[in-house]
Amino acid sequence: MGISRCFIVILLSLVAVPAATSFGQVTTGDGLMDQARERGRERARETEQSIYKQGQMLRFEKTIAETATLFAELKKRHTSLTEWMESLLDNEDGKRLALNPLAGMQFLAYQEQPVYRLSDFDAQEQLLVELQAFLTQVQRDAPVGYVPDAARVDEAFDMYLWARDRLARVAETEAWLKSTLAEVDLDADITSTRTLRQAIDAYLAQRHELWRVNPIAGRLEAEREAAPKIAENARIVELERALFEAERLKREATQQLEKERIDFERRIKEREVVLQEQLAAAEREYQERLATIARMDRIEEAERGRRDMQAEVRAREIDEDARRLDLVARCRSAAVQRDLKPFLDHGVWQPGDRQPNQRLESGPMSYSKLVAFGALNNDIRGLQLLLGVANANSSELAHNFGTMFAGKHMDDERLKWSYSRRWSDLSREQVRELDRIQKLLIELGPTLVEEGLLAP
């Protein structure tokens, strides 16, 4: 089936078949294919543009919605972290943490380098509110097919990345606090131990006092005495900063890869949609071409059928005309005129009349009255009745139907046979002759009526 369809399409492409219809000239196969192909390409372009615009708008809406969710989560967890770290400054967990100088220095570093400043968060949150208001206005007032400009899209995506980065840093700080507190000595006596706040304040005060009292020598001595600790702390802090920087770079690289992955997947999906639309357009075009071919085939088949029907009707008419001419010729022949003379001669009596002189017009015998009388029934009774109509002595059976009057046949104007009226007295040859005459009347009766040789 596929090969035959391809052959039909190729044949239609090579041969233009004009066909006149009530609407004008039918387009050739090549023209139909070109028009269908151009319509498919135009629909594919329109669909691709529509899908691209819808995708852009949906991604913009999704980015703003996900950013709002991140902001809410960030604000909640950062507030909780801030309150937790603030409580550690004065509670027993903070005292235990202060027993480890390195942990205390790290805690101080987290305090001096917070995840974000409140002013930064407020500014970003205000920008998010403005973007949400802008999106609401666009959804309400923008025309169909509107696409936000690239600056707005980048602005929303940058906010999304900012919130996700800060939320990751909050999670890192929470994880550090949990792991550090899990390692403290729970059995240590902290009754007289300073709080974490006091330890930090003492450290800051000592550092400040050393800088104030001994600007030069004191600083040198303090630096000399504290050099190992400072170097170790600096190394730790530098390692932490390097770790933070590495984590930051890792996050940025991950974010960039995620952004590129999302963009790549978006382009792949858009391309898949476009290809699907193009495939559907090609399939529709193919089906249209098949429908055109089928329609042309049906038209041609109908035309062939019409011509065949006309030829058949014409042949039938010719056959009927020839048969009628043959019947007419036979009706006019001397043999038929002789054999059927008792029926073709003119007279006023008709089969079925029970009294003479029932009509004034003289004419040949009526074919329909012969049929009604039963003289053309193809059986013995019919032959006996036919004998009664055309025999001078009538017949025993026909006598009962009024063919005789005053001892003679009521039809005294037409030629009559001279057979015996008793059926049993007839010879076999006479019966066969009656049967032949009856069959002749049955066959030629309608034509004899048309030619006026018998009355209707």
* 265-307 pLDDT per residue, tens: 888 888 888 888 888 887 888 888 888 888 888 888 888 888 8
- Per-residue pLDDT for 331 more than 80? yes
> Collapsing DSSP states into helix, strand and coil, what is residue 29?
helix
- Per-residue pLDDT for 333 more than 50? yes
Q: Which residues pair with 248 in a beta bridge?
A: none
Structure tokens at 261: 């992955």
Q: pLDDT-based confidence at 329, cuts 50/70/90?
A: very high
Residue position matching structure tokens 């009559």: 416
Q: Phi and psi for 401 in degrees, rounded to 5?
A: -105, 15
Chain-centre distance for alpha carbon 173? 55
Amino acid at 53: K
Taking the model in full, what pTM does it have? 0.40
Residue 143 DSSP class:
P
- Per-residue pLDDT for 175 more than 70? yes
- Per-residue pLDDT for 217 more than 90? no
Q: Average pLDDT over the chain, rounded to whole?
A: 82
- Using CA atoms, how far apart are residues 179 and 174, in angstroms rounded to an integer? 9
What pLDDT score was predicted for residue 23?
39
**Contact present, 348 and 330 (Cβ < 8 Å):** no
Task: Write down the number of H helices and E strands in the chain.
Answer: 14, 4
- Per-residue pLDDT for 111 more than 80? no
**Contact present, 342 and 416 (Cβ < 8 Å):** yes
Per-residue pLDDT of 404-416, as tens digits, reads 887 889 898 999 9
Q: Which residue has the higher pLDDT, 36 or 425?
A: 425
Ramachandran class of 21: left when φ > 0, alpha when ψ lies in -120 to 50, beta otherwise? beta
Chain-centre distance for alpha carbon 85? 62
